[in-house]
Structure 1
Amino acid sequence: MESNEQPKEKKKLSLNVVSNKEHKGFGAGTIDLSQVSCVIIDRGEAYLDVGAMHAKSKVERGIKFSPDKENVPNGRPVWVVWVAIDRNEEGSYYAGATSCEMLIDEEARRGWKVLPDHVNRLDAALKRKYMLDNIGPEEKAALRKLLMEHNAEWWDRSPEALKEQLS
C-alpha cells in the first residue's frame, strides 16, 4: 500500500433510518422512522423533543431508569407520545399517535418506564393506530393544542378517530 492510501473502514451495523426508497442492501429490514415525531407531555405542557427517539429527551437525561415502579415512589408522570405523519391526495395529516407513561424523580435522578411498552407503542403509531387511552384530560388537551398549533391543516385532515380520542 502506498503511503497516501487510506485503509478501508469496515461497515458498522447500526440502526438505519431509511426513506421510502426500495432498499435491499446492507442494513435491509430497518424501520423507517423519518415520519415519526416525539412529543413529551410534562406538567400539563406538550412539546416536541426529538431526543425522545433515543431515550435522551430533556426530562430523561441524567435519569437512571428501572422497570420497577416501586423504585420511584416520588416520581411525577411524564408521557412520551409517538406521532406518525402520513400523506394522502389532500396533503399531510396526523396518521398515528400513541402515548407511553414514565415516572421521573429529578431530585433522586430516578425514573420508571417499561421499555417494551414504549417500543410496542412506537410500532403501533407507525402502523397508523391511535392509542391515547392512558392519558388524562389535561394531557389530552395539551397534546390537542400542540398538534393544532404545530400545523392546523394537518389537524384538519386527520381522521375523526384522533380528534375523538383527544376531545
Structure 2
Amino acid sequence: MEEQQKGKKLNALNIVSTKYNHRGFGAGSIDLSNVSGIIIDGDEAYVDEGTLHAKSKVERRIRFSANKEDVPNGRKCWIVWVAVDRTEEGPFYGGLAACEMLIDSEARRGWKILADHVNRMDKAMKRHVLVENLNEAEKKLLRDCLINHNPEWWERTGSEIKDALAI
C-alpha cells in the first residue's frame, strides 16, 4: 500500500516557474516566481519572503480572525504585493496592491480578510496598482523600500506606479 501511494500524483495546485515553456500537467497554474511581499509596520518597510505563505515576521504565531472586533488593540500593518515584470532593458516593478492587517502581538491575535489578500495579490500579478488605501507616510516608506531594493528596477518602472507613490 505504501508503494502505491509513493507513485500516486496528487491533483493539487502547482506553482511553476517561467524558466521554460510548460505545457503538461499543471499548465496555466499560478506562477508566484515574480511576486513578493513588502511589510509596512509602523515606520518600517521591508521585503519579507514569508508573506507568500502567511509566515511573515508580523504574522508568525498570530491567530487570525475575519472579525475586526476580535483585535481591539491591534496595530495597522500592510502587506504590499509587488509583481516584477521584465522587458528587453531588464526587470521593473509592474504591479502593486496593498492589503491591511491588524496585529496584536502581545495577545497573539490578528485580523485580515484572506480573500482580499488573495484577490489583491492576483491584481498585482496582473499589473494593477492598488495603493489608494495607504496614507502619504506609508506610500513614502513603500517607495523608499522599492528604490533601495533595486534602483535600476525603479528607473525602469512605469509612471502609473511612480505617480501612485508620489507625495
**Fold conserved between structures, TM > 0.5:** yes
Paired with 2:111 and 2:159, the residues of 1 have a C-alpha distance of 33
Gaps of 5+ in 1: 1-5
In the alignment, which residue of structure 2 is the partner of 1:116? 115
Corresponding residue SS for 1:61: coil
In the alignment, which residue of structure 1 is the partner of 2:10? 12
Report the CA distance between 1:27 and its aligned residue.
2.7
Paired with 1:107 and 1:101, the residues of 2 have a C-alpha distance of 19
Percent identity of paired positions between Structure 1 and Structure 2: 58
In the alignment, which residue of structure 2 is the partner of 1:3? none
Report the CA distance between 1:144 and its aligned residue.
0.6
In the alignment, which residue of structure 2 is the partner of 1:63? 62
Query: Root-mean-square deviation (CA), in Å?
Result: 1.4
Q: Deviations over 1:17-71 (max 9, x none)?
A: 2122332323333101100011101012110111110111111011110111111
Aligned amino acid, residue 53 of structure 1 = L
Equivalent pairs counted in the alignment come to: 162
Paired with 1:89 and 1:29, the residues of 2 have a C-alpha distance of 24
Tell me whether 1:32 sits opposite 2:35 in the alignment: no
Q: Deviations over 1:87-137 (max 9, x none)?
A: 112211000011000000011110000111101100000100110001111
Paired with 1:141 and 1:66, the residues of 2 have a C-alpha distance of 29
Aligned amino acid, residue 17 of structure 2 = S
Paired with 1:14 and 1:52, the residues of 2 have a C-alpha distance of 21
- TM-score, normalised to structure 2, is 0.91
Tell me whether 1:50 sits opposite 2:45 in the alignment: no
Paired with 1:139 and 1:45, the residues of 2 have a C-alpha distance of 9
Compare CA radii of gyration and give the structure with the larger one.
1
How do 1:18-167 and structure 2 match up within 5 A? Answer: 18-20=16-18, 21-167=20-166
Gaps of 5+ in 2: none
